[in-house]
Amino acid sequence: MWHSIEKKEVFQLLKSSENGISEHDAALRLKRYGENEIREIFRLNPFFIFLQQFKSVFIFILLFAAAFSLVIQHYIDFAVILAIVMINSFIGFFQHYKAEKTISAMKEMLVPKVRVLRNNKLSEILSSELVPGDVLFVSEGDKVMADCRLLHVNELETNEAVLTGESFPQKKTSEKLAIGVELADRENMVYMGTTIVKGNARTIVVSTGMNTEFGRIASLVQKLKIEKTPLEKKFDLFSKNVALVVVFAALITSMLGILRGEEIFDMILTGISLAVSVIPEGLPAVMAITLAFAIGRMHKHNALIRKLPAAETLGRTTVICTDKTGTLTVEQMTVTELYCNNMNFRIENNHFLSNGKRITPSRVKELMALLKIGILCNNARIERDHGVKILGDPTEKALVISADKAGLLKKEETEREPRVIEYSFSSKRKLMSIVRKTDRGLISYVKGAPDILLKKCTRELVNGRVINLTDNRKKEIHASYEEMASGALRVLGFAYKKLPSKFDQNSAENGLVFVGFQGMMDPPRKEVKSAIRDCINAGIKVKMITGDSLLTAVAVSNMIGLDGESIEEHELEKLSEEEFNDAVRDKTVFAHITPELKLRIIKQLKHQKEIVAVTGDGVNDILALKEAHIGIAMGIRGTDVARDVSDIILLDDDFSSIVKAVREGRRVYDNIKKSIKFHLSANCGELIVVLFAMLLSMPLPLLPLAILWMNLITDSLPSLAFTVEKEDSDIMKRKPKNPEETILHGIWQFIVIAGLISFLVAIGLFALFYQADLAKARTIALSVLVFCELFLAFTCRSDKPLLKIGIFSNKFLIYSVLGAFALQLIAIYTPLSAIFGFKALAIGELLVVIAASSIGLIFFETIKSIRSRN
Residue 440, helix vs strand vs coil: coil
- The mean-pLDDT minimum among 290-299, 527-536, 589-598, 815-824 falls in 290-299
Would you call 323 a catalytic residue per the annotation? yes
CATH number at residue 733: 1.20.1110.10
Q: What is the dihedral of CA 398, 399, 404, 406, to 10 degrees?
A: 120
- Do 368 and 518 contact (CB within 8 A), yes or no? no
Question: Phi-psi bin for 126: left (phi > 0), alpha (psi -120 to 50), beta?
Answer: beta
Residues paired with residue 147 on neighbouring β-strands, in sequence order: 207
pLDDT tens-digit series, residues 239-281: 777 777 777 777 877 787 787 777 776 677 666 666 666 666 5
Alpha-carbon distances, residue 199 vs 155, 156, 171, 404 (angstroms):
5, 4, 10, 24
Q: Pairing state of beta strands 566-568 and 351-354? A: unpaired
Per-residue pLDDT at 673 exceeds 50: yes
State the Cα–Cα distance between residues 74 and 21, nearest whole angstrom: 75
Reported as a pLDDT band with limits 50, 70 and 90, residue 182 is: confident
pLDDT tens-digit series, residues 743-770: 788 888 998 899 899 999 999 999 998 8
Judge if 706 and 791 occupy the same domain.
yes
Within a domain: 83: no
- Do 366 and 341 contact (CB within 8 A), yes or no? yes
Reported as a pLDDT band with limits 50, 70 and 90, residue 285 is: low
Judge if 413 and 507 occupy the same domain.
yes
Reported as a pLDDT band with limits 50, 70 and 90, residue 733 is: confident
Q: Smallest Cα–Cα separation from 202: which of 221, 184, 217, 188?
A: 188
Judge if 376 and 440 occupy the same domain.
yes
Per-residue pLDDT at 134 exceeds 90: yes
pLDDT tens-digit series, residues 86-110: 765 675 566 556 545 544 544 443 3
Per-residue pLDDT at 206 exceeds 70: yes
Judge if 263 and 165 occupy the same domain.
no
Q: Between 308-315 and 75-105, two packed helices, what is the crossing angle to 10 degrees?
A: 80
> Count of domains in the chain?
4
Judge if 669 and 772 occupy the same domain.
yes
State the Cα–Cα distance between residues 589 and 562, nearest whole angstrom: 8
CATH number at residue 410: 3.40.1110.10
Per-residue pLDDT at 382 exceeds 50: yes
Burial class (CB in 10 A: 0-12, 13-18, 19+), 645: buried
Q: Smallest Cα–Cα separation from 338: which of 237, 406, 384, 261?
A: 406
State the Cα–Cα distance between residues 96 and 196, nearest whole angstrom: 35
Judge if 490 and 572 occupy the same domain.
no
Within a domain: 98: no
Q: Which of 204, 221, 238 is the last residue of a domain?
A: 221
Judge if 324 and 401 occupy the same domain.
no
What is the reported pLDDT for 131? 93
Judge if 352 and 392 occupy the same domain.
yes
* Residues whose CB is less than 8 angstroms from the CB of residue 31 and which lie 6 or more positions away in sequence, other chains included: none
The residue among 665 and 73 whose pLDDT is bigger is 665
Within a domain: 60: no
Within a domain: 534: yes
Judge if 494 and 541 occupy the same domain.
no
Judge if 145 and 195 occupy the same domain.
yes
What is the reported pLDDT for 111? 41
* Residues whose CB is less than 8 angstroms from the CB of residue 179 and which lie 6 or more positions away in sequence, other chains included: 1, 4
- Do 613 and 566 contact (CB within 8 A), yes or no? no
State the Cα–Cα distance between residues 643 and 640, nearest whole angstrom: 5
- Rounded to a whole number of angstroms, the CA Rg of the chain reads 36
Q: Smallest Cα–Cα separation from 218: which of 599, 622, 644?
A: 622
What is the reported pLDDT for 108? 41
Judge if 769 and 863 occupy the same domain.
yes
Q: What is the mean pLDDT of the chain?
A: 84
Q: Which of 494, 519, 544 is the last residue of a domain?
A: 519
CATH number at residue 647: 3.40.50.1000
Q: Which of 134, 142, 147, 323 is catalytic?
A: 323
CATH number at residue 161: 2.70.150.10
Within a domain: 800: yes
pLDDT tens-digit series, residues 608-637: 989 999 988 776 777 888 889 898 988 777
Within a domain: 459: yes
Judge if 278 and 322 occupy the same domain.
no
Residue 377's domain spans which residues? 338-519
Reported as a pLDDT band with limits 50, 70 and 90, residue 732 is: confident
Q: Which of 470, 503, 519 is the last residue of a domain?
A: 519
Quickly count: other Cβ atoms within 10 Å of residue 244's Cβ: 10
* Residues whose CB is less than 8 angstroms from the CB of residue 444 and which lie 6 or more positions away in sequence, other chains included: 433, 434, 435, 496, 497, 499, 503, 508, 509, 512
Within a domain: 709: yes
Within a domain: 641: yes
